Amino acid sequence: MEQDEHTYPTPTGRTAAMSAAARVAEERRLLQGARVVSAVFTPLTIPFLAFLALFLFSYLRIMPFGYKAMLLGVVYCFTVLMPLLAVFVYRRFIASAEERGDRQITFALITLSYACCLVLMWWFNLPWYLTNIILASVVTTVLCALADIRWQLSEHMAGTGLATGCAVAFGEVFAFNPVWLLCLLLLASGLVGTARIILRRHNVAEVAGGYALGLGCSLLMLLPGPGAAIARLLP
């Protein structure tokens, strides 16, 4: 009795099926990892982390604990909590389905919250390098919004560029060698850029452009020479 040759899959067919399943599983794990990296390194936390690092590792740690906690609370509320809440309320209750992906509105809400924080920093009469952390964040956000009209720069990479510039500038301000911190930040920047490309949110040029923008703004605002000069021109 002749056996149907298509009754059982051939070893080659089983191997191909297993390889395809393995590729799908690997791609799924890669996407999950990229989403985790993007969520952990959200750009909104950069100003808060910069303040926290200065209060923990520079001579600013001698400031009264209550005063530091108050400043950290203000910075967190205006640079993390309020932007997230405003964007959520807008997308959930105000925007139509077509408007929910409008990045310009998102940038406007974030900029408004950051600008309020900047006014408070001026009102507190803080040292110029603390106030300029918020100023650099405001300028970076505005430039990302303007560039977004024609070119969708990566705001995640702008945040990591801002953090890298902070490390370089504060090495000059506080006279320490930031080489190990820079190594960690460059590693994190590479992870974030790779994650954004894997998720197909940006291409290589948009990732590199966002990083260059954040790095340039932070160096301009926080290096002792240009940063102090800019601070003297503002209220």
| Residue 130 covered by a domain | yes
Is residue 199 included in any domain, yes or no? yes
With a threshold of 0.75, does the pTM exceed it? yes
* Domain region containing 125: 37-233
pLDDT at 80 over 80: yes
| pLDDT, position 15 | 66
Confidence at residue 99, expressed as pLDDT on a 0 to 100 scale:
55
Handedness of CA 39, 42, 44, 49 (dihedral sign): positive
Residue 117 in any domain: the answer is yes
Would you say residue 133 lies in a domain?
A: yes
pLDDT one-digit tens code per residue, 87-100: 888 888 776 645 55
**What local confidence, expressed as pLDDT, does residue 1 receive?**
44
In this predicted structure, the answer to whether residue 22 has a pLDDT above a threshold of 80 is no
Q: Is residue 10 part of a domain?
A: no
- What's CA 69's distance to the chain center, in Å? 23
Number of structural domains in the chain: 1
Is residue 65 domain-resident?
A: yes
Give Cα 226 to chain centroid, integer Å. 24
CB-count exposure of residue 31 (10 Å: 0-12, 13-18, 19+): middle
Mean pLDDT of 170-183: 91
**pLDDT tens-place string over residues 48-66:** 999 999 999 889 999 999 9
| 111 pLDDT more than 80 | yes
